């Protein structure tokens, strides 16, 4: 992928237009501006949101085709066929997400909170659910975020600043979901959500580098993070709830992101110094 050309602002334009235009009917229906029957709205919210989440991929494909020309998209997609990530990419992020999500889920019970039950029908479908999360339930965003635009941001602004900028843009991109009834973001605090995207950005970026920049690693790590949430629910789907699990979860993820930011800084220094 060529990162020496002009910075691809068009990526963000297409990404936001694709996603926000697809989400907007759900936002308008929830606000009563357009009439969609509740049973239909409840049925289409998840598939429509999955389609909208391909916005970063659309932005990447459009940028590649218009900047680098014919064949650039195919060359880019071929990079996703390489799964030689290494054990650190597979296990370390998964271990962190498992521990932080479980800890956020179980800890409030020691202070009198009722247990939130697992949202999956049973644990045996977890492998299938994990695959859905990797390719349709959030992981597809990484085709554009870490797979394409992160390298441009890091080249222009540096490794740490690039990841921080992407975490802010990524959070803002999710804004329509905070206005759609039935989505998890509808029950989240936006500042807390930004803490989450900050932590995730540095963990995802570290995993991508550990995989030698194999972009499927970003999809895998993102999908893995999302796949633990229905097993250890961290949100009370009740308007106005205090959400102690959510705040524990985003705080621990934010702290983990700070640690990985420092790890990445030291690794960069060691690389420059030849250690």
Mean pLDDT (the chain) is 93
- Greater model confidence, 268 or 116: 116
For helices 9-30 and 159-173, angle between their N-to-C axes, nearest 10 degrees: 30
pLDDT tens sequence across 207-226: 999 999 999 999 999 999 99
pLDDT for position 4? 64
At residue 273 the predicted structure's pLDDT band, cuts being 50, 70 and 90, is: low
Annotate the chain with three-state secondary structure: CCCCCCCCHHHHHHHHHHHHHHHHHHHHHHCCCCCCCHHHHHHHHHHHHHHHCCHHHHHHHHHHHHHHCCCHHHHHHHHHHCCCCCHHHHHHHHHHHHHHHHHHHHHHHHHCCCCCCCCCCCHHHHHHHHHHHHHCCCHHHHHCHHHHHHHHHHHHHCHHHHHHHHHHHHHHHCHHHHHCCCCHHHHCCHHHHHHHHHHHHHHHHHHHHHCCCCCHHHHHHHHHHHHCCCCCCCCCCCCCCCCHHHHHHHHHHHHHHHHHHHHHHHHHHHHHHCC
pLDDT for position 270? 73
pLDDT at residue 110 tops 80: yes
pLDDT tens sequence across 249-265: 999 999 999 999 999 88
Least reliable range by pLDDT among 33-42, 106-115, 181-190, 228-237: 33-42
Tell me the average pLDDT across 183-196.
96
Tell me the average pLDDT across 58-73.
96
At residue 272 the predicted structure's pLDDT band, cuts being 50, 70 and 90, is: low
Are 109 and 193 a contacting pair, CB within 8 Å? no
Are 236 and 179 a contacting pair, CB within 8 Å? no
At residue 241 the predicted structure's pLDDT band, cuts being 50, 70 and 90, is: confident
């Amino acid at each position: 992928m060529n990162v020496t050309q002009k910075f691809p602002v068009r990526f963000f334009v297409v990404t936001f237009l694709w996603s926000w235009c697809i989400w907007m009917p759900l936002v308008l229906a929830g606000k009563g501006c357009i009439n969609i029957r509740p049973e239909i709205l409840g049925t289409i919210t998840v598939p429509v949101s999955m389609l909208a989440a391909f916005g970063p991929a659309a932005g990447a494909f459009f940028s590649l085709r218009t900047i680098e020309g014919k064949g650039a998209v195919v060359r880019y997609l071929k990079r996703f066929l390489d799964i030689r990530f290494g054990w650190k990419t597979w296990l370390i992020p998964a271990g962190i997400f498992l521990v932080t999500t479980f800890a956020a889920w179980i800890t409030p019970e020691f202070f009198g909170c009722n247990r939130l039950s697992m949202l999956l029908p049973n644990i045996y479908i977890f492998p299938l659910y994990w695959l859905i999360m990797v390719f349709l339930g959030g992981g597809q965003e990484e085709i554009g975020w870490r797979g394409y635009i992160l390298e441009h941001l890091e080249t222009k602004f540096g490794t740490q600043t690039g990841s921080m900028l992407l975490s802010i843009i990524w959070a803002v991109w999710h804004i329509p979901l905070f206005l759609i009834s039935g989505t998890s973001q509808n029950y989240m605090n936006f500042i807390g959500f930004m803490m989450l995207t900050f932590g995730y950005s540095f963990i995802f970026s570290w995993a991508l580098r550990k995989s030698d920049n194999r972009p499927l690693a970003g999809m895998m790590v993102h999908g893995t993070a999302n796949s633990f949430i229905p097993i250890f629910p961290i949100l009370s789907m009740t308007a106005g709830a205090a959400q102690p699990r959510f705040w524990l979860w985003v705080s621990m993820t934010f702290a983990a992101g700070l640690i990985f930011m420092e790890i990445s800084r030291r690794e960069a220094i060691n690389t420059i110094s030849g250690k």
